[in-house]
Amino acid sequence: MEKVLPALILAGADENIRADLENIFSDKYTIVEVCSEAECLDFIAGNSVKVVIVALFAQNFDAFEFIKNLAQNDRLKEIPIMAIIDHGDDEGASRALDLGAMEFFTRPPSRAIVRHRVHNVLARYENRRHRMEKTIKDKYLAELQNYIEIDSLTGLYRRDTFYKKAADLMHANPYVTYAIVYLDISCFKVINDLFHIETGNRILKATAEYFKRAINPQIGLCSRVEADHFILCIPQDTLNIDRLISELDITIHVLNISHNILFYAGVYIVTDISLPVDQMCDRASMALRKIKGHYVTRYAYYDASLRERMLKEQMIVRDMDFALKDNQFTIFLQPIYNSQTRKIVSAEALVRWFHPESGMISPGYFVPVFERNGFIVRLDRFVWEATCRFLRGQLDAGKSVVPVSVNVSRLNFYSFDLVIFLLNLIKKYNIEPWMLKLEVTESAYTDNPQQLASIIRQFKEIGFPVLMDDFGSGYSSLNMLKNLQFDVLKVDMAFVREIEQSERARKILRTIIELAEELGMGVVTEGVETQTQLDYITEMGDVDIQGYYFSKPLPVEDFKKLFDNQNS
Ligand code: C2E
Ligand code: CA
Ligand code: CA
């Protein structure tokens, strides 16, 4: 069977050119001559045509019109147009190219050039077609993808898409803290039953529209995960949960549905980014479950205690500087009694914070925060000075004084001027060093034993009594006791707490007291609350006692009164 070659259409050329081209392409194409656009299009409709070649010098039609019309015709989109020009007709060539021809050659056609150019034109066309096909394919895929990823009712992400996108978002922004908000509409099923399903859909759509407005897609995501459940993933600092819920209420309210529709939310602040997103959502949903059935509480945080602690800590850090300037800190004095004489022999100065909004905050809250951010150094110095001022006041009033102990938190040992500061303080208030006792805890020893030893030696040279605080509460108590010269051992409250129930605890406490006596140290037992505890301890030896049994820490004026009463 004879092979059917694809065609090159030739328009407006003469016999010679036609013969030349037939000759040049006899192995590849048949040459078909046409006299008009209509004829050209007719032929293209039924045959395989590769290129349309138009002679600019055509006699029986306007070659430029011809090119222009074909180039604009949809059916010729896939077929390139070439022009044949007279030698030197640059202007004609350029106009033909402008109108849509892709290439040209001069007459008479040279075999090498024409074959080459036709080949190039076809290659370029092929390329373009591929590109176009690819764009179409991509577009189609994108549409399909969209269909899979997006909930058709609301236009929000479906669950799985949300999980994936949220994970990507969080990993791309490791320094941003995200909040996962799980939202649920109260009694949605009732609404679907009571009203037409369309009403339910209106609520869902309005909700989705609100999220699209409220959440910047650059930084956050939202999803309808099922029925009437929505999940958001947004940076924590953009979340205002009260506002979110009240705006949702308004969004639904304007739909005028005669049923009270409320949103409830559970929030998980993403503290653990390694957690799979579905588990994060579970946590948020767990928080939501906590408030199911409470009609007033509209949202809950996962692990609220942790969050409250965080907020409290933020408040503490925010307010500390001002509080110090504003005299919100004061000292309380807790008297310390001797077990045998039952008289006040000493006291411990303990800091108190009277916050204008939060009231009195316990040092148990803020001291650990200040130990982390370094503010404790300034606060301790404030307490020491307040204590010296108190002592000076007593002396000026002609009262006798007992030594008062102050806490020296571990961070102080990093201040190069610690010893000088204390020395200047007693000079400034003209008090004697034995009046100010310094309590040091084991954590200072763990940090840097050598440095601590040297500073404690300097304290003792000056004449400050040094106490080891909370003895027995940590791992290094015995080492610290062995290596450093303390004047007094303060036995941790935990020992005292157990002596009523446990014979063993009594033996241990007795041994600690004996050990201290053996080493020539005084003993203070902290946390004595009951008569029984006191009796046991009194029987164990001549020790000092600090505890609620005798007195809680007191405002300075109350302490003065108590002290005066004793001495009168
Ligand atoms: P701490 O130095 O061991 O102080 C003793 C704590 O035990 C005080 O709590 C005191 O009120 C409490 N306490 C005394 N007797 C009893 C008792 O019989 N039963 C019970 N349950 N507790 C008793 P506070 O004043 O709340 O201080 C807690 C901790 O805060 C202190 O423990 C100390 O570590 C720190 N702190 C307090 N004031 C200062 C300060 O000015 N500077 C530094 N660095 N830390 C301070
Ligand atoms: Ca203490
Ligand atoms: Ca203590």
Q: From the alpha carbon of 470, which atom of ligand 1 is closest? A: 3
What per-residue confidence (pLDDT) applies to 286?
Answer: 84
Rounded Cα distance, 460 and 422, in Å: 12
Of 500, 526, 545, the one to substitute when testing ligand 1's pocket (max ligand atoms within 8 A of C-beta) is: 526
pLDDT score recorded for residue 529: 97
CB under 8 Å to 11, separation ≥6 — which residues?
33, 34, 35, 40, 52, 53, 54, 55, 58, 61, 63, 66
Distance CA 456, CA 454 (A): 5
Q: Is the CB of 380 under 6 A from ligand 1?
A: yes
Distance CA 406, CA 424 (A): 16
pTM confidence score:
0.57
- What is residue 304's predicted lDDT score, i.e. its pLDDT? 63
- pLDDT recorded at residue 446: 80
Ramachandran category for residue 527: left, alpha or beta (phi over 0 → left; psi -120 to 50 → alpha): left
Distance between CA 181 and CA 368 in Å, rounded?
31
Q: What does the pLDDT read at residue 492?
A: 93
Residue 349's SS3 state is strand
- Check residue 51 and give its pLDDT: 93
Q: Contact at 8 Å (CB) between 190 and 227?
A: no
pLDDT confidence of residue 501? 92
Distance (Å) from CA 346 to ligand 3 centroid: 14
Listed residue (74, 65, 5, 17) closest to 41, CA to CA:
74
- Which residue owns the Cα nearest ligand 1 atom 17? 527
With the CA atoms of 406, 410, 413 and 418 taken in that order, what torsion angle do they form, in degrees rounded to the nearest 10?
-20
Residue 350 C-alpha to ligand 1 middle, in angstroms? 6
**CA Rg value for the chain:** 45
Element (H, E) at 364: helix 363-373
pLDDT at 1: 53
Give the residue ranges of the chain where pLDDT is below 70. 1-2, 304-307
Instruction: Name the amino acid, one letter, at 384.
Output: W
- Burial zone of 423 (CB within 10 Å; 0-12 exposed, 13-18 middle, 19+ buried): middle
Those residues whose beta carbon sits under 5 angstroms from the ion ligand 2 are 407, 439, 469
Interaxial angle between packed helices 111-149 and 15-24, expressed in degrees from 0 to 180 and rounded to the nearest 10: 70
